[in-house]
């Protein structure tokens, strides 16, 4: 089972919460807060999973996901989308462009751990 997560999120409190939850479970967690060069970073880091916020400076999580899914090197990479907006249309868009899973903020520690474990073991 892979143990390397790249968290692309710009809210410091969310970054620290996820880093704490996953690090405690044995995951290596890299973080990045800018959408502009996120795809390049995914290619460079080759994580086992990406946790991707929808609203980022520079480029939206949806645009990043589209790029990842159009690249043969990352088309099958598990991507957990995070958003503060949990409307059905947001979830449908994420699923349509290839999100592996969608989670709204706030989330429970247990839900985050379960999602990450499920996505990487799948």
Q: Per-residue pLDDT tens for 44-98?
A: 999 999 999 999 999 999 999 999 999 999 999 999 999 987 788 988 999 999 9
Whole-number Å distance between alpha carbons of 29 and 2? 12
Measured CA distances, 48 to 2, 74, 106 (Å):
6, 10, 23
DSSP 88: H
Whether the model clears a pTM of 0.85, i.e. scores above it, the answer is yes
Q: Is the pLDDT of residue 1 over 80?
A: no
> What class is the 4-121 domain?
alpha beta
CA dihedral 110, 111, 117, 120 (to 10 degrees): -160
């Amino acid at each position: 089972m892979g143990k390397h997560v790249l968290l692309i999120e710009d809210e410091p409190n969310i970054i620290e919460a996820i880093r704490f939850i996953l690090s405690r479970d044995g995951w290596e967690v890299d973080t990045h807060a800018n959408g502009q060069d996120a795809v390049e970073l995914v290619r460079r880091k080759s994580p086992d999973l990406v946790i991707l916020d929808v609203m980022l400076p520079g480029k939206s999580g949806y645009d990043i996901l589209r790029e990842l899914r159009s690249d043969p090197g990352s088309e099958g990479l598990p991507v957990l989308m995070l958003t503060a907006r949990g409307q059905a249309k947001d979830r449908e868009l994420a699923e349509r462009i290839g999100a592996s899973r969608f989670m709204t903020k706030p989330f429970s520690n247990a839900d985050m751990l379960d999602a990450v474990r499920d996505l990487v073991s799948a």
